[in-house]
């Protein structure tokens, strides 16, 4: 019935299987506005934000701190379009073991279970997201505490590095207040760019 009413569907769900089901039946474009597995709209927008800041999406070192989640998964997919851009993920080994199969074929993402200051010092961008996402059954706070983005982490990076977070953030958990409100944080222009990038998706779909 919805295929008769609508030109397209923007679908946000806590269960990716529901999205797969919608793809089966809905005969027009579906925009995945977030699922527990993926968040492509955020990833496309974040590439736009990186380009706005660095003039290019190529040759960048992105450091991701914390959970392995929907936002990271989609980011790891879109960086396949960016030559020589890689993601170093600092996370808990137990969380990695549960999620590793989603990343098996991707050579542009490396996982680390201990902080490596040398890798962090080469980052153009430090990114994080909430430690416990909306669909998580367990609180990952304790497992991920040592991967919080704080002033020490940001101070390892060079002057031009930036801090990104898709928001909403849990201040004091994955990021400290001084970092998210600090000079390197571009979270507000990153949020503003969702509007720009999502208009781009509609234009690409010719809607
Ligand atoms: N990883 C977060 C993203 C929120 C935009 C969540 O799924 O809750």
Residue-wise pLDDT tens digits, 38-70: 999 999 999 999 999 999 999 999 999 999 999
Residue-wise pLDDT tens digits, 144-156: 999 999 999 999 9
pLDDT at 106 (0 to 100): 87
Residue-wise pLDDT tens digits, 85-120: 999 999 999 999 999 999 988 889 999 999 999 999
Please tell me the distance between residue 4's alpha carbon and the centre of ligand 1 in angstroms: 31
Which ligand 1 atom is at minimum distance from the Cα of 134? 8
Residue-wise pLDDT tens digits, 106-115: 889 999 999 9
**Residue 143: cis peptide before it, omega within 30 degrees of 0:** no
| Helices and strands (H, E) in the chain, number of each type | 10, 7
Q: What is the pTM of this model?
A: 0.96
Q: Is the CB of 92 under 6 A from ligand 1?
A: no
And the tokens for 172? 């004091």
Beta strands in 35-170 (DSSP E): 61-65, 86-90, 109-112, 125-128, 162-165
Rounded to a whole number of angstroms, the CA Rg of the chain reads 17
% of the chain beyond a pLDDT of 90: 95
Q: How many CB atoms lie within 10 A of CB 2?
A: 11
pLDDT at 206 (0 to 100): 83
């Amino acid at each position: 019935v919805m295929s008769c009413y609508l030109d397209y569907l923007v679908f946000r769900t806590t269960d990716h299987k529901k999205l797969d089901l919608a793809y089966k039946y809905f005969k027009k474009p579906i925009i995945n506005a977030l699922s527990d597995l993926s968040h492509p709209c955020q990833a496309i927008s974040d590439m736009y934000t990186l380009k706005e800041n660095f003039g290019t999406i190529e040759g960048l070192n992105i450091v991701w701190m914390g959970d392995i989640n929907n936002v990271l998964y989609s980011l790891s997919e879109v960086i396949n379009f960016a030559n020589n851009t890689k993601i170093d993920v600092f996370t808990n080994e137990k969380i990695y073991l549960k999620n590793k199969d989603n990343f098996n074929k991707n050579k542009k993402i490396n996982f680390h279970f201990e902080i490596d200051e040398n890798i962090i010092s080469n980052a153009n961008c430090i990114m994080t997201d909430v430690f416990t996402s909306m669909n998580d059954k367990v609180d990952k706070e304790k497992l991920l505490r040592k991967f919080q983005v704080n002033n020490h982490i940001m101070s390892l990076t060079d002057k031009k590095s930036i801090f990104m977070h898709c928001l909403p953030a849990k201040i004091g958990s994955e990021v400290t207040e001084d970092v998210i409100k600090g000079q390197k944080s571009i979270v507000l222009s990153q949020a503003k760019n969702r509007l720009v990038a999502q208009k781009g998706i509609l234009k690409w779909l010719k809607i």
